[in-house]
Structure 1
Amino acid sequence: MLPDIEKLLQLQVADKEIRTLQEEIAALPKRVAAIEQKLAGTKAQLEKARTAAKGDEVNRKKFEAAIKDLQGKISKYRDQSLAVKTNEQYKALLHEIQFAEQEIRLNEDRILEVMVNAETRDREVKAAEAELKAETAEIEKEKEEARKITAADQAKLSEWNAKRDGLRQGIADDLLRHYERVMKFRGSGLAEVRDHKCMGCQVMLRPQTYNEVRNGEQLVVCDSCQRILHFDPANEMKETEAAAAVVHGRKRHRPKSDAPQAWFYRPDFGEEGEVLIVYSNSGDHSTRRIFEMHSGRQIGDVLSREGSYRLAFPEDMTDSTIRLNGHWDESEMDEWNSELPTAALDALHADLRAAQKEHRSTHHDHAASAAEHSAAS
């Protein structure tokens, strides 16, 4: 590996650490605000309970004042009744006295209700005060913890910034500018190459480009994402061993002919060439999605037709088509955003290699059997 690549890899690690720490530090005000928002809710609950208690006290005094006023009226009406001269006047005053006495009873009932409520209000206020006290202590603890984490992040950030400055010193200016430009827009300035693929953008590399990266004698940039490419033989070996385990480790499972979803490899799909096609039967309709074989990018839109896929898309079924193992839910495929995930693409590639090996083995056995039969005759 070129020394510049090694330095850039270290620089990328530093940049990612710095970005993570900066995001954590920037999140502190929001974290503290969220913590204080919890406290604000408890304070509002306490204030509501206190306001209700004060309202009850105001109402009680209002009812007591009304009773006192009514009692004064009754006393006045009784004094007036001693001086009336007609029976009608006496009845009118008696009616006023009865009405006032009725109002007094109503206000006394209201006072009793307020007194009963006051006990509940008092319990609510005390409970809210206790909750506020406990929550305040807990929140202060959380805020202090957040401050400690931020202080630690600040210290780490200073260390990483110093390390980053040191790493930048040993890298050529033009290479550094390219790295930083790609890093800004892509989130990373370098990408590893595995199985002929840029792991940054998942695009397959041209054989010449792949070999140049493997040789490690010059700087190579991905034509698709502009990341600087590097190669790790250890990881390539793991990929090779994993693929070999899939192909050679056990007999390949044959796809079910009546499965509601079917994946196919086709090497000659018009101008696109090698593609992966998936058909899904649903009721009286079927859909078709087409993906570029190497990059996994979806070609065109999802096509829907009436009938099962074999009846709906007969033009797709050629002698060169190979049925593959694979099944993903429609909802999951809808979330792929027009590109096969790496895991799905690798699984389909591995199964294709197994199918091709199986085909070659079968063809070899048939040829050997035919030769033996010819020799015997």
Structure 2
Amino acid sequence: MMLPDVQNLIELQQADREVLRLKEEIAALPKRVAAIEEKLAGTKALLENAKTAVKADEANRRKYETAIKDVQQKISKYRDLSLEVKTNEQYRALMHEIQFAEQDIRANEDKILELMVAAEAREKSVKAAELELKAEMAEIEKEKTEARERTVEDEKQLAEWNAKRDKARAGVNPDLLRHYDRVSKFRGSGLSEVRDQKCLTCQVMLRPQTYNDVRSGQMVICESCQRVLYYNPANEIAPERPSLTAKRRARPKIHIDKAWFYRPDFEGLGEAFLAFVNAQGSSSRRVYDAHTGRKVGDTEFQPGEFTTAFADDIRSAIRLKGGLEEQQLDEWAEELPMVILDELNADLKVARAEKSHLASETSRHPAAS
């Protein structure tokens, strides 16, 4: 059963995460609006530049038109003078001036034509910028409205989560709370779930004893990341359970070098799982408490195969499926991993059911005499 302190820490960590999320969201909303306003300012600048360019073109066009009028007045003056001159040289000089003036008029007219062509494109740019500005102004007003509404809702939720957070903190032992706060400050979280014999946050495997302690509801700190550990059986991946209705349990092989057995009354210990292994002309026996998975006593070695050397131990025992290499058993040392213990108990349950079913069938259909 989970300790109240751990349950409150779970609620506290959830509240801490929600409070952080809401604060970040509240802080991000004005930034999002500011980004849109910055884009809006850019569109306004483009529009102003386009309008300024149109005005500049209009001013240049008026300048060229004025220049043409001035030159036309000069031409008119030169023509009047040409009627009064008395020599051919004077007349030719005035004609040259008129030609130069007419060239000047044509140059100004070309510039006006260029401005007229450019004016069409500039007008399109102005209209496009005006439409874009109008759309962005509508969008920013929409964003501001949504941001205000979201902020109000976030602040409401923030107040609720802060209240939950305060309540959860009040329910945690002060020393444990200080540890949680210290680890959370440096690692971002102070609590971690364990699953499949490892801390899910730092991914470090736990020792079997540590894993069993967490599963049994004891207060345990991860040796690697220092987070408080907790176990949620609902999230554990259950080992595949044999089923009498779906698929019959495989019959144990007769001649094998390793096997598990169950004894309900082993040498005063009570229920126990026995692991036997044959190796190089000898055999070994390891005994584990069927409830805790802890090893009982030392490993015993005998000459010969275990079926002979430990015949008394297995005579009244229930044979279970499979077996494990001696190296694996040595690595587990003094305690079976909980997942192995669960598998053994699951197979024992099926073996008992099969035994009961077989006994029932035998009683209903006795062998013919």
- In which range does the TM-score fall when normalised by the shorter chain? 0.5 to 0.7
Q: Does residue 1:213 correspond to 2:214, yes or no? A: yes
| Distance in 2 of aligned mates of 1:222 and 1:42 | 55
Summarize the alignment of residues 78-89 of structure 1 with structure 2, pairs less than 5 Å apart.
78-89=79-90
Partner residue in 2 for 1:231: 231
Partner residue in 2 for 1:142: 143
Counterpart secondary structure, 2:193: strand
Deviation (angstroms), 1:189: 1.0
Letter aligned with residue 112 of structure 1? L
Partner residue in 1 for 2:46: 45
Letter aligned with residue 197 of structure 1? K
**What per-residue deviation string (whole Å, max 9, x for no partner) do you get for residues 171-201 of structure 1?**
1211111101111222211111111101110
Letter aligned with residue 187 of structure 1? G
Deviation (angstroms), 1:83: 4.3
| Distance in 1 of aligned mates of 2:129 and 2:171 | 62
Counterpart secondary structure, 2:9: helix
Letter aligned with residue 193 of structure 1? V
| Distance in 2 of aligned mates of 1:123 and 1:191 | 61
> Greater Rg, structure 1 or structure 2?
2
Partner residue in 1 for 2:130: 129
| Distance in 2 of aligned mates of 1:36 and 1:96 | 59
Summarize the alignment of residues 193-272 of structure 1 with structure 2, pairs less than 5 Å apart.
193-217=194-218, 219-236=219-236, 239-241=237-239
Deviation (angstroms), 1:202: 0.1
**What per-residue deviation string (whole Å, max 9, x for no partner) do you get for residues 224-273 of structure 1?**
0000001122222xx233799xxxx9xxxxxxxxxxxxxxxxxxxxxxxx
Alpha carbons of structure 1 residues 162 and 191: separation in structure 2 relative to 1, 3 Å = same
Deviation (angstroms), 1:170: 1.8
Summarize the alignment of residues 30-69 of structure 1 with structure 2, pairs less than 5 Å apart.
30-69=31-70
Partner residue in 2 for 1:162: 163
Alpha carbons of structure 1 residues 95 and 188: separation in structure 2 relative to 1, 3 Å = same
**What per-residue deviation string (whole Å, max 9, x for no partner) do you get for residues 141-180 of structure 1?**
1221122112211111111112211221121211111101
Deviation (angstroms), 1:69: 1.6
Counterpart secondary structure, 1:27: helix
Counterpart secondary structure, 2:26: helix
Letter aligned with residue 233 of structure 2? P
| Distance in 1 of aligned mates of 2:130 and 2:173 | 64
Q: Is the 8 A contact 2:194 2:200 kept in 1?
A: yes
| Distance in 2 of aligned mates of 1:134 and 1:125 | 14
Counterpart secondary structure, 2:206: coil
Partner residue in 1 for 2:98: 97
Q: Is the 8 A contact 2:195 2:231 kept in 1?
A: yes
Letter aligned with residue 239 of structure 2? E
Counterpart secondary structure, 2:189: coil
| Distance in 1 of aligned mates of 2:182 and 2:127 | 60
Partner residue in 2 for 1:15: 16
**What per-residue deviation string (whole Å, max 9, x for no partner) do you get for residues 73-123 of structure 1?**
223323443444443332222111111112212222332343344344334
Letter aligned with residue 101 of structure 1? E
Counterpart secondary structure, 2:224: coil
Alpha carbons of structure 1 residues 243 and 136: separation in structure 2 relative to 1, 3 Å = farther
Q: Does residue 1:108 correspond to 2:106, yes or no? A: no
Letter aligned with residue 143 of structure 2? E
| Structure 1: tracts of 5 or more residues without a match | 250-377
**What per-residue deviation string (whole Å, max 9, x for no partner) do you get for residues 43-78 of structure 1?**
233223212211210111111111022112223323
| Distance in 2 of aligned mates of 1:214 and 1:166 | 26
Summarize the alignment of residues 298-377 of structure 1 with structure 2, pairs less than 5 Å apart.
none
Deviation (angstroms), 1:22: 0.9
| Distance in 1 of aligned mates of 2:36 and 2:75 | 59
| Distance in 2 of aligned mates of 1:24 and 1:241 | 41
What TM-score do the two structures reach when normalised by structure 1?
A: 0.60
| Distance in 1 of aligned mates of 2:37 and 2:119 | 30
| Distance in 2 of aligned mates of 1:131 and 1:211 | 65
Identity, in percent, stands at 69
| Structure 2: tracts of 5 or more residues without a match | 248-369
Partner residue in 1 for 2:270: none
What TM-score do the two structures reach when normalised by structure 2?
A: 0.61
Partner residue in 1 for 2:178: 177
| Distance in 1 of aligned mates of 2:36 and 2:120 | 32
- Deviating runs (4+, > 4 A) in structure 1? none
| Distance in 2 of aligned mates of 1:119 and 1:208 | 83
Deviation (angstroms), 1:41: 3.1
Alpha carbons of structure 1 residues 197 and 2: separation in structure 2 relative to 1, 3 Å = same
Q: Is the 8 A contact 2:33 2:140 kept in 1?
A: no
| Distance in 2 of aligned mates of 1:131 and 1:230 | 55
Alpha carbons of structure 1 residues 242 and 99: separation in structure 2 relative to 1, 3 Å = farther
| Distance in 2 of aligned mates of 1:137 and 1:212 | 60
Partner residue in 2 for 1:255: none
Q: Is the 8 A contact 2:30 2:147 kept in 1?
A: no
Partner residue in 1 for 2:28: 27
Alpha carbons of structure 1 residues 37 and 104: separation in structure 2 relative to 1, 3 Å = same
Deviation (angstroms), 1:204: 0.6
